[in-house]
Structure 1
Amino acid sequence: MTRLMDQEQENLWDSVQILSQINAEKAKAVFKVTIEKSLQQLGITVPVFSTIRLSVPSTDRLSQLRQIEKKMREAYAHQEKEKAYEYLVDYIERLSQMTEDDPLVVRKKLLASLLNERYKRKPKWSAKRYRLSASLSPLLSKQVAAAYYTTSEVAKKLGLSDQTIRRMCEKGKFPGAYKTDGGHWRIPRKIFITTPEQDERAEEALQQIDIKNQKAGYVDEFDL
């Protein structure tokens, strides 16, 4: 499973590099998805990142970030968590340099968000209060459902199987996730970097790459 996830991540990086030379907006969308998936493999969530405006990185800077991410994932996979987090600090530092905003401000926001998600206290109220049940009004049910993903939606978002996502829920990998009365997992949308709209744009870009690849076979012939 880890090898498959690594290969999918490498494919995403390749797509970012291709799109960076063709379509800036689509490159940004896929770039965010790539970052989200790399952090999720470490069980890390940085919600504030969804509000940060990315710039299109140069080939050299993208390659450097890609290498750091690879080392970070490898260290984590070998249970070298301290080393993985050292790479994470470098990863965030470089990411802050690839935005349209003040790098110093962005870096502080990312680190603050990371620390908040990792060390915040559990709320006093129980998730049971928010479980979808017949006792909830249709309007409230709709509002609660809009704030959460199903396991199948997260599986599609992260490129994993539904079964893998359920196991991750059982292990507490998704902060705030809970089971409904019917035994279905619900996962907070706010813990993910990308919004559903950004995911959709990234998916469209990747599909166009596949189509153009099949028809032309050469990056030079892409016209996205």
Structure 2
Amino acid sequence: MHKLLIFNNDKLLRCALTHRSYVHENPTQGEHNERLEFLGDALLNFLSGEYLYRRYPEKGEDELTRRRSALVDEKQLAKFAIEVGLDLRMRLGKGAILDGGFQNPNLLSSTFEAVVGAYYLDNNSDIEAIRKVVEPLFDAVPENIVEIRASVDSKNRFQEWVQKNITPTPPKYVTEQVGGYSHAPEFVAKVFVGEKVYGVGRGRSKKDAEKAAAEDALAKVKETSKNLL
């Protein structure tokens, strides 16, 4: 068993593995994992940033940002989840299981984030405990995969354009659930630069919706640039 799954508090691990769809069908079985997911996401962003800062002392901010995004994007976190054995341990509702939930990258990545958050709490909020279990996962990511993903990340490309052409302040994303089911929600995201909406996108996860919004913004910026020529 991977160290990330060895807990002192089994209830905390169970919560981290529990998706909203399971609680919807089994309302007496405790909380779902979304609060832990929030915490794990913040921890992974910090730890991946610190890891890359140490690993690439010669890289600038833009390159480090792209690499961090590639290292903790949905696809990569889903691979981490499978690597540590979360895929068949997730507690999903019947509908989510029928929809292929055990192979769903969004559910896998979200569960991985939740388990990271829970592991942090289970170790008395010790950041070193988390670092010891996630850095070997970061180390195992092939260099070329990081570079390929970094080069195509739409959110980072739009942020670079904004900071180069408009303002040093990063664009802001406002995302909300607009429909779907508990196991297959649908989100819409708007990306703002100041008070102006630059793009709108939809997706089955917040990350997908924000990525789609960034892609929409980039397409509009490109079209506007053509019209100005």
Q: TM-score range by the shorter chain?
A: under 0.3
**TM-score relative to the length of structure 2:** 0.22
**Would you tell me which structure has more strand in proportion to its own residues?**
2
**TM-score relative to the length of structure 1:** 0.22
